[in-house]
Amino acid sequence: MNLAQLYPLTFTPVLKDYIWGGRSLEKLGRVLPPAGVVAESWEIAGHEDGTTTVANGPLAGLPLTAVHAQLGEALIGRRSAWAQARGKFPLLVKLLDASRPLSVQVHPDDDYALANEGNELGKTEMWVVLDARPGAEIILGVRPGTTPAAFRAALQAGQLEPYLHRLPVQTGDHVCVPAGSLHAIMGGLLIAEIQQNSNTTYRVYDWNRLGSDGRPRPLHVDRALDVINFAQTAPTLHPPQPLAAPAGVQRWELCRNRYFVTERVVLAEGAAYQGNLDGETLEIWGLLSGRVAINQVSLNAVQFALLPAALGPFTLTAATPATLLRTFVAPLTP
């Protein structure tokens, strides 16, 4: 494709039917199978476990992996050299319906994943709570005084709860989850997740329940204990950090790590956000409420669009009051 013809890409999601899912993704406009539960909708994904296909424009019908192979750095940007070197799209965006609690789990960092999981990278992620039942909570980190030995003994006894740090959450909250964080999304939550493009999860504890086959789901205790950050004791949620913005636009930084930065952007009706992608980084925009257009591509809630790194100037215009997530690859550090 001629780079002058680049445009914002939308995608057909890939649905996943893990046991903790439900039917609530229908509330976000996802078309679900007539029966059964759906746990995740992979919105923008280029992974061997799930690849979304382009839904609009000249590239419609192509998997994201094929678009990446065709466009390379023009799609993902110079800041993603760490992913490009391994043929990886850098990020993965999901919607999660946690009708029941997920397992207690941890993700490794890049070094551990590359040493133990082939060409897979680690996983740093973040969550935005789109809907929460009253009393909803997450698990993040461990309680003070937790040691690896005590943690292992509690796992062997099937009584890990006393070591888990719980946090109440509500609609609109965000949670930054670095690699090494012990965590679990509990029941009654609809979440948007932005993460490294990895599917490496070490399941530590699954509430002594059975999987869909009537057997306990596999655990990965030894590898989990290798990577859990036991110094992450009783963490708290951090407030959004205000950013400068033009009239009619409000911006807050939610999470920043070595892989990506995610902001919340709120536009008044008729307001416009101007950007220019010069090849440094792609941008992923997720519309949580309202209606917007990015150049000539219209979005309705809840929908995500991928803006190629070499797109050039773009204008995001709000047809109604709108709330969005903006994600881009973090600047390279020395």
* 16 and 58 both lie in a single domain: yes
For residues 221 and 245, membership in a common domain is answered with: no
Identity of the residue numbered 269: E
Residues 248, 222 share a domain: no
Do 45 and 92 contact (CB within 8 A), yes or no? yes
Domain for residue 246, yes or no? yes
| Mean pLDDT, residues 33-45 taken together | 96
Question: Is residue 283 in some structural domain?
Answer: yes
Number of other CB atoms surrounding residue 134 within 10 Å: 7
Based on the domain organization, do 216 and 75 belong to the same domain? Answer: yes
Q: What is the pLDDT of residue 333?
A: 60
Q: What are the CA-CA distances from residue 322 to residues 2, 200, 201, 263 (Å)? A: 32, 34, 34, 14
Answer whether residue 7 is part of any domain.
yes
Q: Examine the pLDDT at 7 and tell me if it is beyond 60.
A: yes
Q: Kindly state whether residues 270 and 172 are assigned to the same domain.
A: no
Which of these three, 227, 254, 289, is where a domain ends? Answer: 227
The mean per-residue pLDDT over the stretch 105-118 comes to 95
Residue 143 catalytic?
A: no
**In this structure, are residues 234 and 181 in contact, taking their beta carbons and an 8 Å threshold?**
no
pLDDT in tens, 69-95: 999 999 999 999 888 888 899 999 999
Same domain for 267 and 187, yes or no, is: no
Q: What is the mean pLDDT of residues 124-134?
A: 98
- Averaged pLDDT for residues 232-246: 96
Structure tokens at 223: 């590898």
Total tally of structural domains belonging to the chain: 2
Q: Looking at the domain assignment, is residue 207 inside a domain?
A: yes
- What is the average per-residue pLDDT within 289-311? 97
DSSP string, 193-241: EEEES----EEEE-TT-B-TTSSBPP--HHHHHHH--TT-BS--PPPPE
Query: Is residue 171 domain-resident?
Result: yes
Residue 239 has pLDDT above 70, yes or no: yes
Give the mean pLDDT of 299-305. Answer: 97
Largest CA distance in the chain: 61
- Let me know if residue 286 belongs to a domain: yes
262 shares its domain with 299: yes
Question: If DSSP codes are grouped into helix, strand and coil, which group holds residue 13?
Answer: coil
Measured between alpha carbons, how far is 319 from 33 in angstroms, rounded to an integer? 31
On whether both 293 and 191 belong to a single domain, the answer is no
Q: Model confidence over 249-296: pLDDT tens digits?
A: 999 999 999 999 999 999 999 999 999 999 999 999 999 999 999 999
Q: Is the pLDDT of residue 119 over 90?
A: no
CATH of the domain at 110: 2.60.120.10
Query: Does 233 fall in a domain?
Result: no
Last residue of some domain: 227, 257, 283? 227
Residues 185 and 100 in one domain: yes
Within a domain: residue 92?
Answer: yes
Tell whether 185 and 263 lie within a shared domain.
Answer: no
Among the listed residues 79, 100, 203, 251, the single catalytic one is 203
- Alpha-carbon gap, residue 265 to 323, rounded angstroms: 6
pLDDT, averaged across the chain: 95
Instruction: Tell which of 196, 227, 258 closes a domain.
Output: 227
CB 252 within 8 A of CB 262: no
Torsion angle in degrees (nearest 10) through CA of 281, 287, 292, 295: 20
Can you give the residue range of the structural domain that contains 83?
Answer: 3-227
Q: Are residues 69 and 181 in the same domain?
A: yes
Chain-centre distance for alpha carbon 74: 22
Do 216 and 176 sit in the same domain of this protein?
yes
